[in-house]
Amino acid sequence: QKEVEQDPGPLSVPEGAIVSLNCTYSNSAFQYFMWYRQYSRKGPELLMYTYSSGNKEDGRFTAQVDKSSKYISLFIRDSQPSDSATYLCAMTPMDSNYQLIWGAGTKLIIKP
């Protein structure tokens, strides 16, 4: 079993829909949670970063962490075709290395 599980998709939704992307994890030591967006043939770029549990909002994006369920989510409101990309979750425990453990990524397609 991988430490971080993420449905690879693709997830196809119409423009304007609310998108929900999720990751589950098994290591209760994870404390920092990140969402990266990767466009085709590009490197990942950081979208959202949360510490421990709770919600964080940035424009149309909301990141949610539920440590009791070992479950994190990224919500995208009013989705746009430009949001079409692969979304990767990444997380790290509080230890000396802070090595990021990555999900496999979910491919999101927003249809105009």
Q: Rule CB under 8 A: which residues touch other proteins?
A: 8, 31-32, 34, 38, 41-46, 49, 51, 86, 88, 90, 92, 97-100, 102, 104-105, 107
Whichever of 12 and 15 has its CB closer to other proteins, that residue is 12
Which has the closest alpha carbon to 27: 99, 93, 98? 93
Minimum CB–partner distance for residue 1 and other proteins (Å): 14
SS3 call for 83: helix
CA 68 – CA 29 distance, rounded (Å): 12
Closer to other proteins by Cβ: residue 1 or 99: 99
Output the CA–CA distances (angstroms, integers) from residue 80 to 44, 73, 104, in the order listed: 19, 18, 23
To the nearest whole angstrom, how small is the minimum distance from the Cβ of residue 78 to other proteins?
25
Cβ nearer to other proteins, comparing 42 with 77 = 42
Q: Is the dihedral of CA 74, 79, 82, 84 positive or negative?
A: positive
- Whole-angstrom distance between the N-terminal and C-terminal Cα of the chain? 37
Q: Shortest approach of other proteins to residue 41 CB, angstroms?
A: 7
Element of type H or E holding 61: strand 61-66
Minimum CB distance to other proteins, residue 102 (Å): 4
By beta-carbon proximity to other proteins, the closer residue of 41 and 112 is 41
